[in-house]
Homo-oligomer: A and B are copies of this chain.
Amino acid sequence: MATIEDVAKLTGLSRTTVSRVINNHPYVSEEKRKLVLEAMEKLGYVPNSSARSLRNQKTSILALFIPRITNPFFSELVEATEIAAAEYGYQLIICQTRYSPEKELNYMNLLKMKQVDGVILASIQNEWKKLKPFLQYGPIVLCNEFDDRANVPTVRLDQVYGGYIATKHLLEQGHTKIAYCSGGYRSNVAKSREIGFKKALAEYKVPFHEQYAFRDAFHIADGKRVFQKMMALSERPTAVFTGSDEVAAGIISEAVKCGYRIPEDLAVVGFDNQAITELTNPTITTVHQPVKQMAQKAVDVIVEKIQTKKYETKEIYEFPLQLIVRASTIGSKLHQYEA
């Protein structure tokens, strides 16, 4: 394994000069520069990352915290974040908290140990006061998830608006018995959507009944379970708002299997605009989230924070959401080949 010393020896120059060539510093004669480059090539020399990190106090690695990567929303976020990070020359370490506060705190030590230059939190499992102390070791940027008490840069989507437009759409179709379905008790994303949901109901003077709320739905299986619960109610809802397309797909799948018609018997809106929304029958009305933009911004911001070393600045960057209307809410016109 060739080191800078080997290159220095081979050229008869000092480590300093070699280092200058590597880092494109001035005051190296063209003659020596060529000599060094040739020697580096010949020895197959590449600077050692650990040594550089130690000396420069910088690893060029970011950590991205997500609950689990198999959730397509987070897959897309990881994809976009990795690409954006690579543009800046950063590597991305994936930290799956699996909804565990302990795992989250444990991964946070990456910042303390200086194994990463910064942390992007796309989900939050601990109270902010538990995370805040880590700010002394490096920047934390919130992306997607957020917390009012957190005095750090936050890149997020207007979830209140998302809940609002999706629900308003159902209300416009004449529904008054609308169920609410979400995942993540701790999540402010879910809470915001619920605020938007209730805001829309209030505007239409439609009351909300707590028995219509299901706040523990994450996966397809949860959707199936929730559907059965809804159908067991004495007064069944005619529409349901869900916090993810997976759950919406689960509901639809179970409904169709049980002989119900979507949207005639139950209108369903999803969230995320995932690929499955166009594959189910009927296709799923959903809310599109600009994940790529959000990821890009989060990386832009954290790179800037790493450079300026000002970590405790409350900056909010918010992107809009967009309703995508498909067959699961507006019925027959789009149901071209069914039945």
**Residues of chain A at the chain B interface (Cβ within 8 Å):** 1, 44, 46-51, 53-54, 57, 59, 61, 68-70, 72, 75-76, 78-79, 82-83, 91-94, 96, 109-110, 112-115, 137, 220, 246, 249-250, 252-253, 256-259, 275-276, 278-281, 336-337, 339
| CB contact under 8 A between A49 and B113, given known A75-B69, A253-B279 | yes
Known contacts A1-B137, A48-B54, A54-B51; A93 and B278 CB within 8 A of each other: no
Which of these, B44, B47, B112, B281, contacts A256 with CB under 8 Å?
A: B281
Q: Given A1-B137, A48-B114, A53-B50, is A78 in contact with B83 using a C-beta cutoff of 8 Å?
A: no
The 10 listed contacts between A and B (C-beta, < 8 Å) are: A48-B114, A49-B59, A49-B110, A53-B53, A53-B54, A72-B72, A78-B94, A91-B110, A246-B275, A252-B279
**Cα of A61 to Cα of B75 in the assembled complex, Å:** 21
Contacts of A112 in B (CB 8 A): 44, 46
Nearest CB in chain B: distance from A26 CB, A: 25
Within the assembled complex, what's the spacing in Å between the Cα atoms of A14 and B59? 28
Known: A69-B79, A72-B75. 5 other contacts (CB 8 A): A46-B113, A50-B59, A53-B54, A92-B93, A279-B280
Is the beta-carbon distance between B91 and A91 smaller than 8 angstroms? Answer: no
Whether A279 contacts B278 in the complex (CB less than 8 A), given A59-B50, A96-B79, A337-B259, comes out as no
Q: Which of A57, A279, A339: most chain B CB closer than 10 A?
A: A279
A61–B337 CB distance below 8 A = no
| Contact between A72 and B69, CB atoms less than 8 A apart | no
Contact A68 B79 (CB under 8 A): yes
Instruction: Write out the residue numbers on chain B whose beta carbons fall within 8 Å of the beta carbon of A252.
Output: 279
Q: A69-B69, A70-B79, A110-B91 are in contact. Are A54 and B46 (CB under 8 A)?
A: no
Q: Which of A76, A82, A137, A220 has the most CB of B within 10 A?
A: A82
Cβ 8 A contact of A339, one of B220, B258, B339: B339
- Whole-angstrom CA separation of A181 from B137 in the bound complex: 51
Q: Given that A54-B50, A257-B337 are contacting pairs, would A70 and B76 also be in contact in the complex, using a CB cutoff of 8 Å?
A: yes
Once bound together, how far apart are the Cα atoms of A189 and B82, in whole Å? 25
Q: Which residues of B contact A69 (CB under 8 A)?
A: 69, 75, 78-79, 82
A278-B256 contact, Cβ under 8 Å, with A1-B137, A49-B59, A91-B110: no
Chain B residue numbers with a CB within 8 Å of A253 are 278-279
